């Protein structure tokens, strides 16, 4: 059984006063195995955020279903959604979403505080994470004292501390310069190598070249996918770039 199954998902938005309908996802179908690092790419308006929102249980499909470890996300009662997100999913955003009034340590603890976990568990979990993400020296600082790359590494630690089944990342390098992007992508690659399943939406071929598979969305459908399968970053980057160029040249067909 696949770890994540996106089964013929369609999503329609009704515009204001239901005057028109937008078909954001027309028929999205793919599966994710445990331990994969998937990138979702596609032009602006192709449906990437819509798909991510459905996977994040922030929105529901109009048709089709999304299964996480066999569980249909649409069947989770409204009142249990926040707890489900907190316990099963990790989130990394473009703009970090850290709280400036909290220390780095407290930002990372936050999901466990909300889950009413014991302090001893928080302390136990933060140690290896802080080491892995090279933020041990930053734990007592505040987010406003950190570089963008450091902030994103803290955000990754916050996403991982609940030991989520899958981490969903929305343009995680979108606000970073190339050096900081590299740092963050290396961390993603490392945590994936240790078994963490990751799904990242990105516009960047460089970022996508770190993943194990890239899905290209066009007009609300997965129209192509590429497997890294042992290729170097550079080789995979070239394949992704070529696909993006072809995608642009067939625009409007
Ligand atoms: N709440 C909404 N109401 C109506 N239409 C929407 C809504 N959200 C998205 N859409 C439309 O659905 C389509 C897909 O949008 P979506 O935001 O998923 O694309 P995207 O690939 O994430 O774009 P970007 O890369 O610019 O973030 C677009 O045509 C968009 O205008």
Query: Could you tell me which of 165, 204, 213, 166 has the C-alpha nearest to residue 184?
Result: 204
The answer to whether 170 and 95 are in contact (CB under 8 A) is: no
Domain 4-250 sits in which CATH superfamily? Answer: P-loop containing nucleotide triphosphate hydrolases (3.40.50.300)
Residue closest via CA to ligand 1's atom 12 equals 24
| Residue ranges covered by each domain of the chain | 4-250
Please state the atom number of ligand 1 nearest to the C-alpha of residue 22: 5
Q: For a substitution probing ligand 1, which of 10, 22, 23, 219 has the most ligand atoms within 8 Å of its CB? A: 22
pLDDT tens digit at each of 253 positions of the chain = 689 999 999 999 988 777 789 999 999 999 999 999 999 999 999 999 999 999 999 999 999 999 999 999 999 999 999 999 998 999 999 999 999 999 999 999 999 999 999 999 999 999 999 999 999 999 999 999 999 999 999 999 999 999 999 999 999 999 999 999 999 999 999 999 999 999 999 999 999 999 999 999 998 999 999 999 999 999 999 999 999 988 767 654 4
Nearest atom in ligand 1 to 11's CA:
12
Q: What are the DSSP E strand ranges found in the chain?
A: 4-14, 21-32, 37-41, 63-68, 71-72, 89-92, 166-170, 197-201, 213-218, 221-227
176 Cβ neighbours under 8 A, 6+ residues apart: 148, 149, 152, 184
Cβ-contact 18, 191 below 8 angstroms: no
């Amino acid at each position: 059984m696949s770890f994540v199954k996106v089964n013929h998902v369609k999503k329609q938005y009704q515009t204001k006063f239901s005057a028109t309908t937008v078909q954001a996802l027309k028929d999205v179908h793919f599966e994710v195995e445990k331990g994969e690092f998937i990138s979702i790419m596609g032009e602006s308006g192709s449906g990437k955020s819509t798909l991510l929102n459905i996977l994040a249980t922030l929105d529901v499909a109009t048709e089709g279903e999304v299964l996480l470890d066999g569980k249909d996300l649409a069947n989770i009662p409204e009142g249990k959604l926040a707890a489900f997100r907190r316990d099963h999913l990790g989130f990394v955003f473009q703009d970090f979403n850290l709280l400036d009034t909290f220390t780095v340590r407290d930002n990372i603890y936050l999901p466990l505080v909300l889950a009413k976990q014991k302090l001893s568990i928080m302390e136990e979990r933060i140690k290896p994470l802080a080491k892995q993400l090279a933020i041990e020296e930053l734990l007592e600082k505040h987010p406003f004292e950190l570089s963008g790359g450091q902030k994103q590494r803290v955000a990754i630690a916050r996403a991982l501390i609940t030991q989520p089944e899958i981490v969903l990342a929305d343009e995680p390098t979108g606000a970073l310069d190339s050096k900081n992007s590299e740092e963050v992508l290396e961390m993603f690659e490392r945590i994936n190598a240790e078994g963490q399943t990751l799904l990242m939406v990105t516009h960047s071929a460089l970022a996508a070249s770190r993943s194990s598979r890239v899905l290209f969305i066009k007009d609300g459908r997965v129209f192509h996918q590429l497997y890294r399968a042992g290729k170097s970053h550079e080789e995979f980057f070239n394949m992704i770039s070529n696909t993006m160029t072809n995608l642009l040249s067939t625009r409007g067909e």
